[in-house]
């Protein structure tokens, strides 16, 4: 995906599936944990000044990384509180694994790489969908970051991932509370 907005909305959707309802004031830390897990594969951006964009979408965009990250974060959560349910691990893994899956469906402008390294360490091959859902953006040049193409990619990403988020809320019959007003209440539609 071009920007973290889509990964964050998808992560919030996974949280809604995990929890069943969202109260932004009460669940802020848990939502932040899920968003963190959804953005964690992009930690490889730290290496960009040293290695170029070639290292992005590599090891950290694999299912093995999602497995390791979910295991470590779950172990830390279990250390902090014994009341953490075992099913949290699966949802943390799903959240981290959906990041490379979404990037798989994003057009990659680095044709020499072309995709994500989904199955590392078992395969060093990069995979990219022949039918991208998301429009990639060119990050190597400043003038392409601030362009109409980038704006349209962001709008498309927000629309697709926002639709997924709302669909999960609807299918789960989730309630979303912001503290001041109720957005959606138990499949009665939006109010």
Structure confidence by residue, pLDDT tens digits, 94-105:
999 999 999 899
Structure confidence by residue, pLDDT tens digits, 159-170:
999 888 888 888
Distance CA 61, CA 40 (A): 9
Q: How many residues does the chain have?
A: 191
Structure confidence by residue, pLDDT tens digits, 12-31:
889 988 987 777 778 889 99
Residue 89 confidence (pLDDT): 97
Distance CA 43, CA 92 (A): 16
pTM: 0.82
Residue 152 confidence (pLDDT): 86
Count of alpha carbons within 13 Å of 18, Cβ hemisphere only?
Answer: 23
pLDDT greater than 70 at residue 174: no
């Amino acid at each position: 995906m071009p920007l973290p907005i889509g990964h964050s909305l998808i992560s919030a959707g996974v949280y809604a599936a995990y929890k069943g309802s969202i109260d932004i004031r009460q669940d802020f830390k848990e939502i932040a944990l899920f968003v963190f897990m959804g953005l964690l594969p992009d930690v490889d951006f730290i290496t960009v000044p040293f290695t170029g964009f070639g290292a992005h979408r590599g090891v950290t965009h694999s299912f093995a990384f999602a497995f390791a990250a979910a295991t470590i974060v779950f172990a830390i959560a279990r250390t902090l509180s014994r009341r953490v349910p075992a099913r949290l691990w699966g949802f943390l893994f799903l959240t981290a694994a959906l990041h490379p899956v979404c990037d798989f469906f994003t057009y990659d402008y680095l044709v020499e790489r072309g995709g994500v390294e989904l199955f590392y360490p078992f395969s060093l091959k990069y995979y990219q969908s022949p039918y991208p859902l998301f429009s990639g953006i060119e990050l190597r040049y400043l003038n392409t970051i601030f362009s109409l193409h980038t704006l349209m990619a962001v709008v498309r990403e927000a629309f697709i991932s926002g639709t997924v988020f709302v669909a999960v809320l609807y299918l789960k019959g989730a309630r979303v509370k912001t503290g001041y007003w109720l957005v959606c209440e138990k499949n009665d539609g939006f109010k």
